[in-house]
Structure 1
């Protein structure tokens, strides 16, 4: 069905260690499930050909979710030959600097200025290294994926409308698509149209094995504070906006629902992390990140926030709202105790009212069966409470390693009528 020569793959045959790999680049085929041109096929590295049949993955992970693997069969490599993976190729910093321009026409930066004012918008541009691309869609934003070592792994290009939503466009076949691409694809297309050879770095970059990204958006911010908790959302735009509303976290983004995995989160080893999955019609996004959180809990303390799932309307789910929509438009429900009253917490003779639940932890090997619950308080600030495996407030012993992980400022207080370990940050 998708037979044909796939030239670039000859440059990294066997480098993945698997016989079948997903096709690289921006080329898409028609999905056998939803009929959209959003399907990425599998390549047989033994033949450099696309695998016949409906083997591949649809990019519409929530609304379609089709994913059929031909089987990860290890490619044959003679035992006498040792193959070392080629080093990752990064985007030169000079390329990033070229796109630090035209912010007055950058639709996303202007959206930030409308939300927060020019001064905060300018600070966000600097903090997250936001760029501007006028090549394919004038006024599009560039979200650079920069790892903790300062290496530029990728640049996501996205055009926004005046309301801060991703703009749409029609391709040559009349299909409506999201105005999103990658900077290397734009550069590659530009040289091809001019019939010019690719620069050495760009040719090597597009031919490298493994992932172009291999890190989280905003990862470079981790080295500024090694103890501050981390929050992860799907979209870079959401991370940037949320960093203003909830500055108690370092805000990062996976870039896509399926991009969150152990490979791209290595820099978070030993950190406190909260995931904020997007909404979906059947909760598929939330369930998927819950499953990923269980895997990641082996090397970090991780929570999955269900604040959107708890307070979303059916219309919110149909629209696929995310935390940015929640923070800028939606109003969370007020948290109440079992008797219908506002839940109150008391610590050192000070009493606070709980506004809403923010996150509940995903227990891992570090937690000894305990979980951490994070609340937003009326009037501002956050409260963290420790609960046991059954969800009851906990006031017993917990290990020194947990104290170091959760913070040494926990003290015995009261949540409702129950004694509990509490930490309150006003």
Structure 2
């Protein structure tokens, strides 16, 4: 029996959520850190929109390599801290649930997966959260950053097929290294070339562990991605070979950073 194909979201709905940046709380945070122009570029590149389910909410569209929108994850962030709003309840839901589509066959894909179709010569960096992928992409464009959507997301055999033939680097959050080592071993069993870095585990302070830092938190705090990348290479020389193979420069991508401007946002 043929397996049922994944259901998709109307691309017109995606398009309607982009380009209106007056209210989005995540956009406001990114603008304060990276500048409004750069935040806009990231949101458009990654197909990040706004939802009116909660005031200022963000929708992370999951678009696969064929350009099909599998679903969208709706989340609410604090515009000052950039942290998810979890009180008085965890503000997270799904577009396909909000639309109440009958017989919707959900098959998630990596956030940012659509970018792999046109960037086949870049090594792929995988992180847990969508926000981390956005920020890391700004500071370290030497990699194509995608997000698994959580510690255990998007690591089944079907999802991993798109990574074959690519150079993959895993960047687990603090406390998730052992779990992601298991995932790395699984990927290797599927003949996927993968490296996993314990940079955060080696360098984190007790306070950073308490706060649950990820690579984006380090980048925002240090504002020295070159130093971080060089430290990673020192710990794993294979990364340098990977970088040289694609003639990628070890330079601070923030040299063209713009100064933060007036905050804006957008709505669906």
Please classify the TM superposition score into its range, dividing by the shorter chain length: 0.7 to 0.9
| Kept in 1: contact 2:121–2:246 (CA 8 A) | no
| C-alpha deviation, 1:321, in angstroms | 1.2
TM-score w.r.t. structure 2 length?
0.83
What corresponds to 1:312 in structure 2? 204
| C-alpha deviation, 1:84, in angstroms | 2.4
Deviation track 1:184-217 (CA, whole Å, cap 9, x = no partner) reads: 22233xxxxxxxxxxxxx2131xx2xx531x210
Deviation track 1:297-353 (CA, whole Å, cap 9, x = no partner) reads: 233211111111110012222221111111111588x99xxxxxxxxxxxxxxxxxx
The reply on whether 1:204 has 2:103 as its aligned counterpart is yes
Distance between the aligned counterparts of 2:143 and 2:94, measured in 1?
27
The reply on whether 1:256 has 2:174 as its aligned counterpart is no
| C-alpha deviation, 1:102, in angstroms | 3.9
What corresponds to 2:45 in structure 1? 127
1:154-193 equivalence runs, <5 A: 154-161=71-78, 162-170=80-88, 177-188=89-100
Deviation track 1:240-277 (CA, whole Å, cap 9, x = no partner) reads: 01001001000100001111413222211110011100
- 1:360–1:263 distance in 2 versus 1, CA, 3 Å: farther
What corresponds to 1:144 in structure 2? 61
More helix by share: 2
- 1:123–1:151 distance in 2 versus 1, CA, 3 Å: same
What corresponds to 2:163 in structure 1? 268
Distance between the aligned counterparts of 2:16 and 2:234, measured in 1?
40
What corresponds to 1:294 in structure 2? 185
Distance between the aligned counterparts of 2:96 and 2:72, measured in 1?
7
Distance between the aligned counterparts of 1:221 and 1:275, measured in 2?
17
| Kept in 1: contact 2:65–2:113 (CA 8 A) | yes
Instruction: Output the aligned Cα RMSD.
Output: 2.6
Distance between the aligned counterparts of 1:93 and 1:272, measured in 2?
30
- 1:125–1:217 distance in 2 versus 1, CA, 3 Å: same
TM-score w.r.t. structure 1 length?
0.54
- 1:406–1:264 distance in 2 versus 1, CA, 3 Å: farther
- 1:160–1:425 distance in 2 versus 1, CA, 3 Å: closer
1:9-408 equivalence runs, <5 A: 83-100=1-18, 102-135=20-53, 137-161=54-78, 162-170=80-88, 177-188=89-100, 202-205=101-104, 208=105, 211-213=106-108, 215-261=109-155, 262-280=157-175, 285-297=176-188, 298-330=190-222, 355-357=230-232, 372-374=237-239, 384-385=240-241, 407=245
User: After TM superposition, what 4+ stretches of structure 1 lie above 3 angstroms from structure 2?
Assistant: 358-361, 423-426
Distance between the aligned counterparts of 2:204 and 2:58, measured in 1?
29
What SS does the aligned partner of 2:22 have?
Answer: helix
| Kept in 2: contact 1:308–1:323 (CA 8 A) | yes
More strand by share: 1
Distance between the aligned counterparts of 1:385 and 1:223, measured in 2?
24
- 1:385–1:408 distance in 2 versus 1, CA, 3 Å: closer
Distance between the aligned counterparts of 1:236 and 1:93, measured in 2?
20
Distance between the aligned counterparts of 1:179 and 1:110, measured in 2?
18
Distance between the aligned counterparts of 1:424 and 1:217, measured in 2?
25
| Kept in 2: contact 1:159–1:179 (CA 8 A) | yes
